[in-house]
Structure formats: structure tokens, C-alpha cells
Amino acid sequence: MTRQNVEVSEIANLPTAFGVFRARSFREVAKSGEKEHLAIFTNSLECAAPLVRVHSECLTGDALFSRKCDCGEQLATALKMIAKNGCGVIIYLRQEGRGIGLFNKINAYALQDQGLDTIEANHQLGFAADLRGYEIAEFILNFLGVRQIRLLTNNPQKLDSFKNVEIVQRVPLVVEPNDFNRDYLRVKKEKSGHLL
């Protein structure tokens, strides 16, 4: 990923229920199309290792408060933690449904309603368990001048995905399970190795 195929917006203020942040959008321009991502960050990133959450889009969880997953709660918890810490970044990546898109994610949900787990549903639809990538997240952090981070994650795949940004600490992102997402979280732990 180079500066040539990423367009960068101006910086805007973003007041939220969790605090006042700044926002900057990053547009990937590729032959396969465009994807727009968002960096939400504190006023200053001048600390030893900012708290960072790389969050993949989940319309159902983030905007519609679905209880089938833990995504919306993870995003809200990360925003609270970063606001309290005073130095950090949320990188919001547009890779819905572990990279299969909203249309296929809803089809996967329908298969889950019939008894398949989230990974089995993706496989039934002809997809790998997880198609997400994090190269753009590293580009965004480098663009923002961040070289060392404390990564808010339970996903070991993210720990191995950064080459030019040093992860000095993994910070667990703890949310309480509910009756609708308990099996989903079990599958994340048992089949995807999430550190829950």
C-alpha cells in the first residue's frame, strides 16, 4: 500500500457520546474498486504508545445494535477507553462481514438461523472463514505518525498483521456475552483462536 493509491481527507472534529475526537477518511483506490475507511483519534497522539482499536465494519452490530455479535459493544468500549486514556486511534475498516460484504453476511446469518456456526456459514457460501486484511490499517497508523501501539484486540490475526508498527502490548477488549451471541463467541475462541 502506497500513498499513490490512497486518498486522504482533511481532518474534522467529531464530537461523540464518548468524547470529542478528530476524524480523517482514507480512500483506497484500486482496480477492484474503492473502499473508504475512517480514523477517529484523540487531539494528540504524542504519547509513548497510543491505544489503538482496528475495528472492521459491522452495520448490524455497530449501527443497529444487533446482539448476534459483540461488535457494537467492542466499538463503544474502545471509544470509551481511548477517550479516558486521552491518546489513541480507532481505525474503522470497511470490510463488512469478515470481508464478505453485507449481502453475504445476511445470507450467512440465515444459515446460522438454521444451525450453522459463523465459520460453517461462510464456508457454505463459498468463502474462507475470514477474508479481512489489515494493510490499510498499518498505512493509516504510519500516515498519522504512530510507530508503536497498544492494540485493543482479542484477535491473534491482528497481532501478526503489522510489519512496520510495533505492538508493545495487547490490551484485551472485554465485553459481556449475552444469550444471542454466546455460541458466536465460543466459535471465535475455539475455531478462530480469539483470546477471550
Q: How far from each other are the two terminal CA atoms of the chain, in whole angstroms?
A: 31
Residue 56 CB coordination number (10 Å): 23
Q: Which of 3, 132, 147, 182 is catalytic?
A: 132
Q: Which of 62, 130, 147, 182 is catalytic?
A: 130
Q: Is 132 a catalytic residue?
A: yes
CB 108 within 8 A of CB 122: yes
Residues annotated as catalytic (active site), given as ranges: 130, 132
